Structures are given as C-alpha cells and as structure tokens.
Amino acid sequence: MRGLDTVAVRRRNESAWLVPADGHDVNHRLRADMRTFADEDEVDLVVVGCGAGGSTVVQRLARRGWRVVALDAGPFWDPERDWVSDEAGSHHLYWNEPRVISGDDPVPLGSNNSGRGIGGSMVHFAGYTPRFHPSDFRTMTEDGVGADWPIDYTDLRPYYEDIEAELPVAGQDWPWGDPHRYPHSPHPVSGNGEVFMRGAQALGIPTRVGPVAIANGRFGHRAHCIYRGFCLQGCKVNAKASPLITHVPDALAHGAEVRADSMVSRVGVDERTGLATGVHYVRRGRQRFQRARAVAVAGYSIETPRLLLNSASARFPQGLCNDFDQVGRYLMVQGAPQTAGRFHDEVRMWKGPPPEVSTEAFYETDPAKPYQRGFSVQTVSPLPITWAEHVSAQGHFGDDLRRYMSDYPHWACLGALCEFLPRPGNRVTLAAEQDRHGLPVAHFSYSQGDNDRMLVTAAREVMESILRAAGATEVITIDRFAHLVGGARMARDDRHGVVDATCRTFAVPNLYITDGSVLPTQGSANPALTIMAVAARAADLLAAGARSGTPSTT
Ligand SMILES: Cc1cc2nc3c(=O)[nH]c(=O)nc-3n(C[C@H](O)[C@H](O)[C@H](O)COP(=O)(O)OP(=O)(O)OC[C@H]3O[C@@H](n4cnc5c(N)ncnc54)[C@H](O)[C@@H]3O)c2cc1C
Ligand code: SF4
C-alpha cells in the first residue's frame, strides 16, 4: 500500500471500518438499527436506485445531515446468504425484468447488462476502474465527433481521487490520459495477465497492471483478495468494491434509510408549481408514495429514461423532462469484441480476478487511422459457462464444443472496449409490452455507425496479434457489447440534453439524475468510477446550493 491517507478517507466515508472485524460480510446491527421514515415524512431527498450513482449521492448527503431515503427495486443483499461462487447460481443478481430491443444492431439485454438490488450493477461488475481521459470531455472540439460535455476533466479530478481512495483502487502508475498514481499497489498477475503482457511486450505495446477496485492490503476491516476469480458473481469476501460495501454502510451510519424491494413507477410532480413532490412506488404489492423535497433518479441508463417517460402528466405530456424530445436519446454501448487464444501450456485463466492488466495505448484518435477515437484492451477471463458462450458464438456445437470445453485450461482471453459514438436515434422509448406491475417496459433501439465498425475491426486485429505474439496457436474472436451509458445526457441547454452541468434536470428544478444516464460520451474506459465521481460532484453542488439558498451552478 502506498500513500493512502486512511484517516482522511475515514473522515469522509467510514464504510470499510463498519464491516465487522470478525470475518463476517454484513454488519447486521447497522441494518437492524437503520433509521426509517414514513411515506408521509417529507424527506430532503428521495433517491431512485441504489447502484453506483445513487449510493454515492445517498452517502454524501446523509453525511451532511440530509434526511435521505433510497428506494431500490431489488433486494438488500446479504453476501453470505444470497451469493454463491458459481456462474449458474448468480443470475438473480441481474436485472431480468423484460425489455424490448430492436435496431440494426440490437443489444441483448436481460442477462448480465445491469444489476438489481442494493449495490446495483457494481455487485457483479468486473472491477476495472479507469478514469476517463481529458479528451473525452471535448470530443466534438478535438475530433469533430460525439459531444462536448458542459464540464471538463479538471472538474472531476478531485472526485476521481476521492472515490479511488474510498473503493480503494489498486494499480501501477498510470501513464495515459491525465497520468496519476493509485492508492494501492498493483496485484500479482495470473496466467492470463502474463500472456497479455508477454504478447504486448513483443509488439512494443505498453500495458499496466490494474486499475481495479479490489483491496490490496489492509483497508478498514475489508478482506484481502483471495484470487478465486468470482468477481462477476459478487465478491463474497468483500475484497472487490461495490456500493453495498463502500458507500451504503456509511450512509446507514449517518441516518439514511435504504428501502429495498421498492419499484418506483413514476415521479410525482405538482401540476401547479412544476416541482417534484416525491415518488410513487410498489412495495410488497402495495402502491405507495414517498414524499420528498427533492428527487434524484439513478436507475441505470435503461430504467432512468423509462421512468421519466412513464412519469408523463398533463404538464409533461411527452414524458417528464422530455419537452425537447431528449429523454432516452444518445444512449451508448461500448463495442466489446472478445478474443481467445490457445496455448500449448496451461494458462488457467480462471485463477485470479478477471480484471488484471490493461492498455490504453489505442485510446486516443490516431490521425493515421481512418476512424476517430479509439479502444482499450483488458484481460477478461471468462468462467466455463461464459467460455461456452464464446465458443458456441463461433458456431462450435456438439463434439466440437465439448472439445473446446475440455481444453479450457489452455485458453487465454482478452476483451476490448471500443468507444461507440452517441447517436440520437439510439434511444429508449416505451414499448407496448408491460411488466408485472402494469408499467410499459423500455424499448431500446440500437444501430452502429461506420466509425463504430472500424473500431471493432481494429480492436480485433490488435487483440489477435497480441495473443499470436504471445504464442497462441489458434485465436477466436466474438463480437459483444458492454456498459450502457447515456439516455438523459448532460448538456449546456435543454435543446441538447436533459440535465445541466450539476445533474439537475432543465425541466424540474428539484429533480436530479445521478447515474450513468447523464454521460454525453463514454470514452473507451469502463464507466463506474466516472459515474461515482459525477454523482459525488452533483451531491457536493446540491449541498452547497441548499446551504447558500441559491441554485447550484458550476
Ligand atoms: C457484467 C458486468 C461487468 C461490468 N464490469 C465493469 C467494470 O469492470 N468496470 C466498470 O466501470 N463498469 C463495469 N460494469 C458497468 C457498471 O457496473 C455500471 O456502468 C454501473 O454500475 C452503472 O451505474 P448506475 O448508477 O448507472 O446504475 P446501477 O449501478 O445499475 O444502479 C441502478 C439501480 O437502480 C435500481 N432501479 C432501476 N430502476 C428502478 C426503479 N424503477 N425503482 C427502483 N429501483 C430501480 C436497480 O435495481 C439498480 O440497483 C459492468 C457491468 C456488468 C453488467
Ligand atoms: S478474485 Fe478477489 S475480488 Fe474477485 S471475487 Fe475473488 S476475492 Fe473477490
């Protein structure tokens, strides 16, 4: 461990010290003693969704003495009781409610795209936590594509540093984007990471170990990683970060209520004043309404636009905050081709966390290439079921599939994240189909552009060359998608987005959006750290504005 000021971290977020010191995962006393509010209590803030963005806001404002209630559609997970180190047994972690997809390149939803329950998608996220690059905030100015954010990298830098210390993040010194260090030193690397580093080195491609939100050393009462590789199934030992461990305990200790199994069906708005009054939700079959002075929506890039559209009223007939037809638009997904290589010696890629080694050498626009923006490459290490999906996506079935499966220990696997550009037609609307609560489900239409396709081709070529340079005798690549963001983007005005630079909606002064939906571009970095940093900044500005009695601005 290097230079991590645990006293300062503890002063702003004590979660790691609230985990029991006796080896158990959950502080049951903290949950049992949780402050509760009645629906009739007008709390200061109700937050919809307790994932990456929502939990950060809840924790930050609870710390400042706000009366906060967070509602989440899923359960309050108890890792010891609810999680298993087993791929097939972990599907209940995903948002499996129906969603409709279409477009030229429909994005499969309903399996492992997003999470459900306290902690959100980070419960089963891999754990990579890179920052965005400064260029990500001005792609239109620099490259003539995408969009400029109404904030820039320096606005987020202090929040990146804070969240990296709270998760905490482990990794080598980072040379790309805004070069920086990490609070924990890099983890040791397993067979898959060694293959990546060997192949990349042979081609002169720089790599780094990390950055991963997996504790590497003493951090409060959190356990050290035991390198069993079940990060995408929820880490039972508390080594991998998710808000369930990193932000919710501190929020509870500071008087927030986290109300699980509460599906929010619409945001209530006073037709006369145009202000949000709270949220309607369904809990244990009962329709309820939580009153609040302000509302923050953080339900993920599909469910957030869906909720706004489902909150149409006489004042907002096209959907809440949708007077300029911006809700649901510019939803992005990263192209995530995955390449596996076979080696004579055993690699045993399951032995270690899937997130280990990455390169951002191809992240920025290269003027010599026919495409704009770029991609990153990371180790991915699929477990057996995901490995079977990889092999069968290549058309291998029956005896052939069995042969690839029994050969599993000899394979290494890399994944790319390609920066697909935001397009207005890639959007969420409401489908005719309804869910079990009678609410229209989200319809997500997605089509790639030429630049997107060129990036995928380039990333495939790089990954295949790396694995070949490391000694692979066979390589197989499949196309995938990863990481949905956008759909209620941040912009300078209401003609181009849904929220302003502070995450406040243009249409409703006391309604905020604090999840990945607000991202105008996505870079080729995994998004969770940026989502938490944006949410932490929004909470700071919200609190500052409330204190001064004036609306918060940048
Ligand atoms: C398999 C997988 C691996 C990933 N790996 C990485 C990685 O390595 N690094 C990285 O940075 N990112 C990764 N991600 C993505 C990352 O986890 C998400 O981008 C991030 O968690 C999104 O944050 P959010 O706040 O937008 O939403 P979430 O974290 O998904 O939180 C949304 C919450 O809202 C709740 N909710 C939704 N609708 C409602 C409603 N109507 N009422 C009440 N509650 C509601 C949901 O139950 C959920 O808990 C991965 C994702 C997946 C699926
Ligand atoms: S490999 Fe480490 S971080 Fe991943 S699930 Fe196991 S203990 Fe947790």
Q: What is the pLDDT of residues 363-384, one digit of tens each?
A: 999 999 999 999 999 999 999 8
Is the pLDDT score of 110 beyond 90? no
Residue of the CA atom closest to atom 37 of ligand 1: 299
121 CA distance to ligand 1 middle (Å): 3
Question: In this predicted model, what pLDDT tens digit does every residue of 381-424 receive, in sequence order?
Answer: 999 888 888 888 888 888 888 998 899 999 999 999 999 999 99
Residue of the CA atom closest to atom 7 of ligand 2: 225
| 511, 504 contact by CB (below 8 A) | yes
The average confidence (pLDDT) of the chain is 94
pLDDT range class, residue 552, cuts 50, 70, 90:
very low
Q: How far apart are CA 133 and CA 178, in angstroms?
A: 6
Percent of the chain with pLDDT over 90: 82
pLDDT range class, residue 1, cuts 50, 70, 90:
very low
Pocket test of ligand 1: the residue of 300, 333, 489, 519 to mutate, having most ligand atoms within 8 Å of its CB, is 300
Residue 108 per-residue DSSP state: P
pLDDT range class, residue 57, cuts 50, 70, 90:
very high
Contacts of 124 (CB under 8 A, 6+ apart): 90, 93, 94, 112, 115, 232, 233, 234
Per-residue model confidence (pLDDT) at position 205: 98
For the Cβ of 514 lying below 6 angstroms from any atom of ligand 1, the answer is no
Ligand 2 atom closest to the Cα of residue 223 is: 7
Question: In this predicted model, what pLDDT tens digit does every residue of 489-508 receive, in sequence order?
Answer: 999 999 999 999 999 999 99
Return the beta strands (E) in 242-285 as ranges. 257-259, 262-269, 276-283
Ligand 1 atom closest to the Cα of residue 304 is: 38
Residue type, 227: Y
145 CA distance to ligand 1 middle (Å): 26
| For residue 211, cis peptide bond before it (omega within 30 degrees of 0) | yes
- Please provide residue 331's backbone torsions phi and psi, each rounded to the nearest 5 degrees: -75, 135
25 CA distance to ligand 2 middle (Å): 14
For the Cβ of 231 lying below 6 angstroms from any atom of ligand 2, the answer is yes
Per-residue model confidence (pLDDT) at position 232: 87
Quick one: which H or E segment has residue 512?
strand 511-513
Q: How far apart are CA 266 and CA 508, in angstroms?
A: 14
225 CA distance to ligand 2 middle (Å): 5
Is the pLDDT score of 152 beyond 70? yes
For the Cβ of 232 lying below 6 angstroms from any atom of ligand 1, the answer is yes
For the Cβ of 132 lying below 6 angstroms from any atom of ligand 1, the answer is no
Q: Which segment of 84-93, 337-346, 484-493 scores lowest on mean pLDDT?
A: 84-93
Pocket test of ligand 1: the residue of 76, 92, 114, 283 to mutate, having most ligand atoms within 8 Å of its CB, is 114
Is the pLDDT score of 48 beyond 90? yes
Residue of the CA atom closest to atom 31 of ligand 1: 51
What mean pLDDT is predicted for residues 54-81?
A: 96
Return the beta strands (E) in 276-401 as ranges. 276-283, 286-291, 295-297, 332-335, 338-342, 357-359, 375-379
Question: In this predicted model, what pLDDT tens digit does every residue of 418-450 receive, in sequence order?
Answer: 999 999 999 999 999 999 999 999 999 999 999
pLDDT range class, residue 47, cuts 50, 70, 90:
very high
